[in-house]
Amino acid sequence: VTCPALERPAHGAVNCSHPSVQLTWGTTCEFTCEEGFTLTGAATLQCGSSGAWDRQQPTCAAVRCEAVPRPAEGSVSCDRAPAELTAGSRCDFQCAEGFVLEGSPSTECTAQGHWSEPVPKCKAVTCPALEMPAHGAVNCSHPSVQLTWGTTCEFTCEEGFTLTGAATLQCGSSGAWDRQQPTCAVIQCEPLISPEKGSMDCSHGAGMFTYNTSCHFSCLEGWSLNGSRVLECSHSGNWSASLPTCEASDQASYISVGIAATSASLLSTASFLFWLAR
């Protein structure tokens, strides 16, 4: 008794145990598939005493991987349709703006029907922490501790200090701040000098003309102050008034004129007496 010949499956092979060419009763045949294909049906067939194989001949079907899920805040792009993700198929991952890929950017369907790499995650981009400026403060918009993409931070300075640089910084999609961090510089007014024939005494010491400094002015005896006696450095960096001057007082001028007139009178009297003596 012989069984009918078996066909070699597409993308597979068959190997029978019987030494002769004829497939007689008791002959067993084993089926295998190429890499990337899996056997559908029984792997072994036996020729029965009735001349028929005990089972249906198997086939080799292409190995398929499951559809790849899209990562949160990202996308996936495969070179084949979801139903045709056979061995060798490749899928690439990308993240939305403001997110960075954590894991492999691509995965490949193996001959065993598994993906070579797990689905990566898209992690929010964060910018480095900002330092509190000396004599200032920083306030950021994002409610969480992490300074993620789009977060804006505003800088302010204490009274008596002015901001040098941008007042607002924003965290970019690359994980870097869009501008340099500003600093707080002390407010300075223009240096003052003592008026001629007078003196100046400032509250913050010589050469220190910073915010809130007050300078007091006075004149030498016989001279009067023309202008404000006290000047203060304001938050705008300007003095509260113009620098005063020292001018000769009216009393001093009167005394000078009186002395000159008296001298002239004495000289005239002396000249008259000298004329009489002659």
Split into its structural domains, the chain has a count of 4
Residue 203 lies in a domain: yes
Residue 216 lies in a domain: yes
Domain ends where: 124, 147, 163? 124
Looking at residues 232-257, what average pLDDT do you find? 80
Tell me: do 158 and 194 sit in the same domain.
Answer: no
Tell me: do 197 and 238 sit in the same domain.
Answer: yes
Tell me: do 194 and 237 sit in the same domain.
Answer: yes
Q: How far apart are CA 81 and CA 77, in angstroms?
A: 10
Residue 277 lies in a domain: no
Opening angle at CA 104, ends 99 and 107, nearest 5: 125
Q: Is 5 exposed, middle or buried (0-12, 13-18, 19+ CB in 10 A)?
A: exposed
Residue 168 lies in a domain: yes
Q: How far is CA 149 from CA 101, 212, 256, in A?
A: 14, 41, 80
CB atoms within 10 A of CB 274: 9
Opening angle at CA 68, ends 67 and 69, nearest 5: 115
Tell me: do 193 and 253 sit in the same domain.
Answer: yes
Question: What pTM, to 2 d.p., does this model score?
Answer: 0.59
Residue 164 lies in a domain: yes
Task: Please give the residue range of the domain that contains residue 22.
Answer: 12-62
Query: Do you know the residue count of the chain?
Result: 278
- The pLDDT assigned to 20 comes to 64
- The pLDDT assigned to 269 comes to 39
The answer on pLDDT for 274 being more than 80 is no
* Single-letter amino acid, residue 243: L
* Domain at 181, CATH number: 2.10.70.10
Over the Cα atoms of the chain, what is R_g? 51
Q: E strands of 5-135, at which residues?
A: 12-16, 28-33, 37-40, 44-46, 59-62, 74-78, 90-95, 99-102, 106-108, 121-124
Opening angle at CA 113, ends 111 and 118, nearest 5: 110
Q: How far apart are CA 112 and CA 35, in angstroms?
A: 8
Residue 67 lies in a domain: no
Q: How far apart are CA 226 and CA 217, in angstroms?
A: 10
Residue 16 lies in a domain: yes
Phi, psi for residue 268 in degrees, rounded to 5? -65, -40
- The pLDDT assigned to 267 comes to 40
Residue 274 lies in a domain: no
Tell me: do 96 and 142 sit in the same domain.
Answer: no
Q: How far apart are CA 58 and CA 65, in angstroms?
A: 21
- The pLDDT assigned to 223 comes to 97
- The pLDDT assigned to 22 comes to 82
Least confident of 40-54, 127-141, 228-242, 264-278: 264-278
pLDDT in tens, 195-237: 999 999 998 876 789 999 999 999 999 999 999 999 999 999 9
- The pLDDT assigned to 30 comes to 96
pLDDT in tens, 11-20: 999 999 876 6
